[in-house]
Amino acid sequence: MTGRLEEKLTRLLGTRSGAALEKMGLVTADDLLRHYPRRYAEPGQLTDMAQLALGEHVSVLARVAEATVRPMRNRGGALLQVVVTDGRQRLALTFFARHAGALRGHEAKLVPGRTGVFSGTVSAYRGERQLTHPDYVLVGGDVEDADAALDEASKPMPIYPATAAVPTWRLQRAVRTVLDPLTEDDVPDPVPAEVRASAGLPSRLEALRLVHAPATAADWRAGQHRLRYEEAFVLQAALAQRRAAAAQEDATARPPRPVDDPGILARFDASLPFTLTAGQRAVGADIADDLARPRPMQRLLQGDVGSGKTVVALRAMLQVVDAGGQAALLAPTEVLAAQHARTLRALLGPLAEGGLLGGAEEGTRVALLTGSLPAAARKAALLQAASGEAGIVVGTHALLSEHVQFADLGLVVVDEQHRFGVEQRDALRAKGRVAPHLLVMTATPIPRTVAMTVFGDLEVSSLTEVPAQRAGIRTHVVPADNPRWMERTWQRVREEVDAGHRAYVVCARIHPDEEDGAAGKAKAAEFDDEVPEFLDGDAEERPPLRAVLEVADALRATPALAGLEVGVLHGQMPPAEKDAAMAAFASGASQVLVSTTVIEVGVDVPEATAMVVFDADRFGLSQLHQLRGRVGRGSAPGLCLLVSTAQPGTPAAARVEALAETTDGFRLAQLDLELRNEGDVLGAAQSGRTSSLRLLRVVKDADLIEEARRAAVALVDADPGLSGHPLLAAAIAAQLDPEKEEFLERA
C-alpha cells in the first residue's frame, strides 16, 4: 500500500528536517502523525507583558516594532530579531535558521506596525526576556481582526515528546505541514464506518486533526478517545481472529477414562491425602471437557500462590497420559523446572515409577530435561520423551525450541504466563502435526481488562480459595535506617531457626559493585533468572541496593545468627551449585538462604517460615507478593519483613505499606497497576507489542476496551477472514508483527 501516509518525511519536509525526525524514529508521514502530543498547554488569557515569568508558556497581544535579519557571527546561519510592544513593555522574539533565506517567510509577515498574538515559552538572553520561535497569529494577515487573533491564540497548544534536536514547536510545525493537506482518502481508517457510526466516533483523519490541531480541550479529548478506541478495537479484532482460528484447528481429543476402566488419574485421586476444593473440582471439570474435544484447549489458569494450581495441572496431565498422550510442563527457569519435577514425583509417589521394579503397575515416568543435565542423564531423558516412556516431561521453555522429540505430545502446561507471550503460543501451535492442548498457569491475578487485552485469546479459569490449613503470614515494614529494628529483624530470624524453621533473605542484585538502575538491570538481564522489576524514579537519591554476596558476608558476622549456616543462591552460579544450594536449604543443612529473586516463583520449602526482603520498596507489588508466597507454605505461620528505604508519603512507601496490609493477591494486582505506569504493565506481559498501544490505558480505559471488544467480536463473527474489511486486516497485520512489517517496507 503506498499512499500519502507512507511518504518519507525527508521528501515532505526536506532532507534536513526529515533526517532530524528520522533520528527520533519518525520516518514516514504516518509515523509523524502517530507521534501524539504528550499533553496540551492550556491557553491562558493573554499575559500582561509586565509579568512574563521565565519558563512559562505565554500569549501576548502586541504590535511589531522592529524586525531585523542578520547573520550570526559565531555560529553561522542567520537570525531574525523582532521586537514587539504593547505600548509600554518591549519583548524580543527570536527566530534562527541556517540561511537568511529560510527566514523570509517570517520577515515578510512580521512587518513593523502589524498587530498579533504571540505565544511561546519565556526565556532570557543577556538579561532580556524573549520568546524563541513563538507561534503567532497576525491581524490582517492570518486573521481579520484582533478578536480572531485572540481566538486563534486561545487554542490549546499541543506539547510533543521532543528531543534537544527537535523541540516541540518544530514538531508541531512539521505535523501541520504534513497533516493540513490530507484528505479523507489519504487516511485509511481501520475502524469501519458502521462501527464508527454506532459508537459515535469521528473518522481517523478528523481524530488526527483533533489531537494535533485542537480548537478546544474538548476537541483533543474527543480525538484521543477515538484513537484509543481504535487501538482497543484493532487489538480486540486481532484477538477475536486468533480465537476463531484456534477454534478451527485440529487437536487430538483426550477424553477421561470411563469409570469402569480407571487409569492413572483415578489412582492418583484415590491416593490424594486431601480433598480437592470446590474450585479445583470446577476448574478441573472445565479442563477435562476441553481436553476431550478435538480442538486445542487455550486456557489460562489463574490462582494466588498456594491456591493449588499444581494439583489441577497434574490432574490434566494424567488425563492426557491415560488417553495415551504425553504432557510437557514448562517453567521459566531451570531451578523451577527441577523443583516442579520433584513436586510432581512426590505427588505421584509410586505412580511415577511406571515400568520400575516396585512402581505402580499402571504408572508413568516424570522426565526432567534441562540444558545443564550431564550428557548421559540428558540422553536418557531425551529417550524417555521420544519413546513415550515418560508421560510427563518437565523443562524450561527451551523444550519447545530445542530438538526434543515427543512420542505424542498432547498437552503443554506453562507455569507463569509473563514470559510466555503470543509468539511462544504461536510457536507451540506450529509444533507437531496437530496442536497440543495448552494450559497456562499464573499466580499473578490479572485484572479483567488486562486479561482481555493481553490474553484475550485464552479462556480464563480462576482458583479463588486457598486450601484451608495454611497458617497465614504476617508482614511488617522495617525502616532500613533504624538499627534497633534491623537488630530485631535478625533476632526474629534466629527465633524462627531455633524453632526448627528456615529463612530467606532476598536482595535485588548479586554483586555490591554492580551498578544500580538501568545499567545494573541490563547486566542482570544477561543472567536469565533474576531481573528485579525495578520501578523507575528517584534511583539516584537512594542508597545503593544491597547485594547478595555482601549481605551473606554481613550475616555470617551478625551475632544474632552466630553458628547458623548461611547459603547463597543467584543466577550467575553454575546450575550444579544452584541445585546444591537449594538442596542444602531444603534439607536444613543451611538455615538461612541469601538469594536474588530466583526464588520468586514456585520454589517450595515448607519449613521456610521467614523472609527478609532488602530494598523492598524497589520491587513491584506483584513481585513482592510472589516472593512472600514462598514462606508459610507449611503448617507454621509465615513472617515477612520488608526492609525499606522509601520516604514516607512516596508511591514506593505506599507499595510496601499496601503489602503489609493485605494478602489478597487480586487487590494487590489492581493496586500495582494503579501505582505504576501502563507501559510497564503491558511491557512485562506482551513482549514486542507495546508499540501498538500508544494512548490506551488498560486500567482507566476498561469501559472503552469492553465496548471495542464487543464491536470487534461481532465484526469478526460476521466476517472471520475480514475480507470485507481490508483496512482492519492491514492494521492487524501491522500491529501483530511490527518488526516484520518494517522489514518489508525497507526491503
Q: Hey, which residues between 429 and 458 contact ligand ADP (CB under 6 A)?
A: 443
Task: Note whether 307 binds ligand ADP by CB under 6 A.
Answer: yes
Task: Note whether 276 binds ligand ADP by CB under 6 A.
Answer: yes
Q: How far is the CB of 643 from Mg ion (least distance, A)?
A: 26
Q: How far is the CB of 307 from ligand ADP (least distance, A)?
A: 4
Q: How far is the CB of 279 from ligand ADP (least distance, A)?
A: 9
Binding mask 309-338 for ligand ADP (x = CB under 6 A): xxx---------------------------
Helix, strand or coil for residue 628? helix
Cα 378 to chain centroid, rounded:
35
| Residue 308 or 363 having the CB closest to ligand ADP | 308
Task: Note whether 241 binds Mg ion by CB under 5 A.
Answer: no
Which partner, ligand ADP, Mg ion, none, binds residue 125 by CB below 5 to 8 Å per kind? Answer: none
Backbone angle region of 25, left / alpha / beta, with phi > 0 → left and psi within -120 to 50 → alpha: left
| Residue 406 or 504 having the CB closest to Mg ion | 504
Binding mask 224-263 for ligand ADP (x = CB under 6 A): ----------------------------------------
Q: How far is the CB of 624 from Mg ion (least distance, A)?
A: 17
Q: How far is the CB of 310 from Mg ion (least distance, A)?
A: 4
Task: Note whether 665 binds ligand ADP by CB under 6 A.
Answer: no
Binding mask 256-295 for Mg ion (x = CB under 5 A): ----------------------------------------
Taking the C-alpha atoms of residue 304 and residue 298, their distance in angstroms, rounded to an integer, is 20
Which partner, Mg ion, ligand ADP, none, binds residue 591 by CB below 5 to 8 Å per kind? Answer: none
Binding mask 277-296 for ligand ADP (x = CB under 6 A): x--x----------------
Give me 598's grid cell: 530466583
| Residue 443 or 561 having the CB closest to ligand ADP | 443
User: Which of these ranges, 43-51, 276-284, 385-393, 522-530, lies near ligand ADP under the rule CB under 6 A?
Assistant: 276-284
Q: How far is the CB of 4 from Mg ion (least distance, A)?
A: 54
Beta carbons of 503 and 493 less than 8 angstroms apart:
yes
Q: How far is the CB of 634 from ligand ADP (least distance, A)?
A: 8
Task: Note whether 349 binds ligand ADP by CB under 6 A.
Answer: no
Candidates 274, 383, 525, 651; binder of ligand ADP (CB under 6 A) is 274
Taking the C-alpha atoms of residue 335 and residue 309, their distance in angstroms, rounded to an integer, is 19
Query: Per-residue DSSP letters for 259-303?
Result: TTS--HHHHHHHH-SSPPPHHHHHHHHHHHHHHTSSS--EEEEEE
Task: Note whether 20 binds ligand ADP by CB under 6 A.
Answer: no
Query: Per-residue DSSP letters for 304-329?
Result: -TTS-HHHHHHHHHHHHHHTT-EEEE
Burial track 259-283 (b if 16+ CB lie within 10 A, e otherwise): eeeebbbbbbeeeeeeebbebbeeb
Task: Note whether 339 binds Mg ion by CB under 5 A.
Answer: no
Beta carbons of 396 and 424 less than 8 angstroms apart:
no
User: Which of these ranges, 160-168, 270-278, 317-325, 534-542, lies near ligand ADP under the rule CB under 6 A?
Assistant: 270-278
| Residue 119 or 302 having the CB closest to ligand ADP | 302
| Residue 336 or 507 having the CB closest to Mg ion | 336
Residue with cell 524580543: 92
| Residue 310 or 626 having the CB closest to Mg ion | 310
Q: How far is the CB of 670 from Mg ion (least distance, A)?
A: 22
Which partner, ligand ADP, Mg ion, none, binds residue 307 by CB below 5 to 8 Å per kind? Answer: ligand ADP
Which partner, Mg ion, ligand ADP, none, binds residue 320 by CB below 5 to 8 Å per kind? Answer: none
Give me 59's grid cell: 500569549
Taking the C-alpha atoms of residue 398 and residue 394, their distance in angstroms, rounded to an integer, is 11
Q: In what order do the strands lie in the sheet with 409-415?
A: 365-369, 390-396, 326-331, 409-415, 437-442, 298-303, 459-463
Sign of CA dihedral 281, 286, 291, 297: negative
User: Which of these ranges, 128-136, 241-249, 476-484, 596-604, lies near Mg ion under the rule CB under 5 A?
Assistant: 596-604
Q: Hey, which residues between 457 and 476 contact ligand ADP (CB under 6 A)?
A: 467
| Residue 229 or 585 having the CB closest to Mg ion | 585
Candidates 43, 134, 308, 447; binder of ligand ADP (CB under 6 A) is 308
Q: How far is the CB of 577 from Mg ion (least distance, A)?
A: 24
At 304, give phi and psi (nearest 5°). -60, 160
| Residue 277 or 735 having the CB closest to ligand ADP | 277
Name 727's Cβ contacts closer than 8 Å, sequence gap at least 6. Answer: 188, 189, 190, 192
Q: How far is the CB of 416 from ligand ADP (least distance, A)?
A: 10
Taking the C-alpha atoms of residue 631 and residue 611, their distance in angstroms, rounded to an integer, is 7
717, amino acid identity: D
Which partner, Mg ion, ligand ADP, none, binds residue 327 by CB below 5 to 8 Å per kind? Answer: none
Taking the C-alpha atoms of residue 551 and residue 556, their distance in angstroms, rounded to an integer, is 9
| Residue 336 or 566 having the CB closest to Mg ion | 336
DSSP state of 725: -
Which partner, ligand ADP, Mg ion, none, binds residue 276 by CB below 5 to 8 Å per kind? Answer: ligand ADP
Q: How far is the CB of 280 from ligand ADP (least distance, A)?
A: 6
User: 112: how many CB neighbours lie within 10 A of its CB?
Assistant: 12
- Write the CA distances from 600 to 605, 644, 719, integer angstroms: 13, 18, 44
Beta carbons of 139 and 148 less than 8 angstroms apart:
yes
366, amino acid identity: V
At 18, give phi and psi (nearest 5°). -60, -40
Q: Hey, which residues between 567 and 586 contact Mg ion (CB under 5 A)?
A: none
Taking the C-alpha atoms of residue 462 and residue 448, their distance in angstroms, rounded to an integer, is 11
User: Which of these ranges, 231-239, 308-316, 635-643, 657-665, lies near ligand ADP under the rule CB under 6 A?
Assistant: 308-316
Q: Hey, which residues between 293 and 332 contact Mg ion (CB under 5 A)?
A: 310
Which partner, ligand ADP, Mg ion, none, binds residue 274 by CB below 5 to 8 Å per kind? Answer: ligand ADP
Task: Note whether 733 binds ligand ADP by CB under 6 A.
Answer: no
313, amino acid identity: A
Which partner, ligand ADP, Mg ion, none, binds residue 311 by CB below 5 to 8 Å per kind? Answer: ligand ADP
Which partner, Mg ion, ligand ADP, none, binds residue 52 by CB below 5 to 8 Å per kind? Answer: none
User: Which of these ranges, 142-150, 168-176, 257-265, 301-309, lies near ligand ADP under the rule CB under 6 A?
Assistant: 301-309
Q: Hey, which residues between 53 and 82 contact ligand ADP (CB under 6 A)?
A: none
Helix, strand or coil for residue 494? helix
Specify which residues 93 forms β-bridges with: 82, 131
Residues binding Mg ion: what is the number (CB under 5 A)?
Answer: 2
Give me 482's grid cell: 533504624
Rg (CA), the chain: 31
Burial track 308-330 (b if 16+ CB lie within 10 A, e otherwise): bbbbbbbbbbbbbbbbebbbbbb
User: 205: how many CB neighbours lie within 10 A of its CB?
Assistant: 18
Query: Per-residue DSSP letters for 435-472?
Result: PPEEEEEESS---HHHHHHHSTTSEEEEE-S--TT---
Question: Rule CB under 6 A: which residues touch ligand ADP?
Answer: 274, 276-277, 280, 303, 305-311, 443, 467
Question: Rule CB under 5 A: which residues touch Mg ion?
Answer: 310, 602
